[in-house]
Homo-oligomer: A and B are copies of this chain.
Amino acid sequence: MAKNAFYAQSGGVTAVINASACGVIEAARQHPDKIANVYAGRNGIIGALTEDLIDTNKESAEAIAALRHTPSGGFGSCRYKLKSLEANKREYERLIEIFKAHDIGYFFYNGGGDSADTCYKVSQLSETMGYPVQAIHVPKTVDNDLPITDNCPGFGSVAKYIAVSTLEASFDVRSMAKTSTKIFVIEVMGRHAGWIAAAGGLVEDHNIPVVILFPEVEFNQDKFIALVKEKVEKFDFCTIVVSEGAHWPNGKFLAEQGTRDAFGHAQLGGAAPVVANMVKDALGYKFHWAVADYLQRAARHLASKTDVEQAYAMGKAAVEFAIAGDNSIMPTIDRTSNKPYAWAVGKAPLSEVANVEKMMPKEFITEDGFGITQACKDYLLPLIQGEDYPPYENGMPKYVQLDNVAVEKKLEKFEL
């Protein structure tokens, strides 16, 4: 007999997380004998706890299809991590109440490392709390730091955006270098892993001198300044890509705003002006700097076609695995060939995914710590292949805003 499915978006959103949502819902609609409806959590798992569910059956096929080309989280996301069963049994009991009340047998959770941990805990409810639910994690993170999967949906598009934007801005600074700006600094996301910063390094093959500051490499100011000087003397300009996670040997970030997010992570921003002024003080070069911030992860207008296809495929595969009886797994992207690039859908047990962070391999960073190797380029380039432009209307992208009709509540209110 058909059960309902619960789907939620978790953590920082991306240009293609809605493509995964589209994959989940379209696949579920192909199997009405197994999945009667997909209830989406309004604002992620909070929507489950507060019984704020969205009835996706109320959305037209066209609206759901348009999710594929719409950035951000169409149902709302949240930063909210379930504690362990011991620490907060009440939340798990509530989830089971909700699942029972709304006949939910499938739990699809679309997020990164923290979310994989939540999904893993839910996947154990059958054993720990006696409620049968199949929990499948749909991978998503611009940080590209989930283990086992070759790459994460969301990363390919942000990589393409950073590579293209860095190339364009580098062309600009090169034009200005004779009498004006010689240094362009772009700050990119990536708290602990330098994957996004690495994508900026792809401009090197377009005759652009580039220096990268990775979170994986302790910042060495003297070596950095010497390298920038060398590049400017040779090329007359230099581009610098700095990860928000770049830090001093003592662990202090190059720039820290002093505030922390709900997971206790330091909220970063502002490494670019720090680095730009450092170069100015040491070498006197005029600079410009940019902080891409949300622009990079929301840039659906420049999404990687490969990324969009993979994001969709992960959503679809999650449903198909669930229907086939899987629990406590995450679909993965398995690279089966590099040249030509080919990939297949695989799967990984959540016990091996939850709370594991994949760093850049050492062999992807050049020996001096400021660049990427050919192996890294060979890894990155397939992920930014292809363009997948959204439709435009009156000069602007035609992104969908769903109706997000609420499912009728059946339970008492729950205080978070």
Contact = CB atoms under 8 A, between A and B. Distances in A.
A396 B286 contact: no
A384 B393 CA distance: 11
Contacts of A167: 396-397, 399
| Chain A interface main SS type | mixed
A78 interface: yes
Nearest to A184: B294
A12 B172 CA distance: 8
Nearest to A296: B290
A295 B399 contact: no
Given A9-B175, A290-B291, A389-B387, A261 B180 contact: yes
* Copies held by the complex: 2
A401 B401 CA distance: 41
A169 B142 CA distance: 15
What's the interface size class on A, roughly? Answer: 35 or more
Given A72-B172, A301-B302, A179 B262 contact: yes
A293 interface: yes
A179 B288 contact: no
A165 B399 CA distance: 13
A171 interface: yes
A179 B396 contact: no
A111 interface: no
A273 B72 CA distance: 23
A131 interface: no
Contacts of A295: 165, 168-169, 186, 290, 292, 295
Given A294-B290, A301-B168, A301-B302, A175 B13 contact: yes
A15 B165 CA distance: 12
A364 interface: no
Contacts of A78: 176, 178-180
Contacts of A207: 401
Interface string A247-279: 000000000000101100001011011000000
A73 interface: yes
Given A79-B179, A168-B301, A207-B401, 8 more contacts: A43-B178, A46-B178, A71-B171, A73-B176, A76-B174, A259-B286, A267-B286, A290-B292
Interface of A: 9, 12-13, 15, 43-44, 46, 70-74, 76-80, 160, 163-165, 167-169, 171-180, 184, 186, 202, 206-207, 259, 261-262, 267, 269-270, 272-273, 280, 286, 288-295, 297-302, 304, 381, 384-387, 389, 392, 394-397, 399, 401
27 contacts: A15-B168, A43-B179, A71-B168, A72-B168, A73-B175, A76-B177, A78-B179, A79-B176, A164-B301, A164-B397, A165-B298, A168-B300, A169-B295, A171-B399, A180-B261, A184-B294, A206-B399, A259-B280, A259-B286, A288-B293, A289-B293, A290-B295, A295-B295, A304-B395, A385-B394, A387-B389, A387-B392
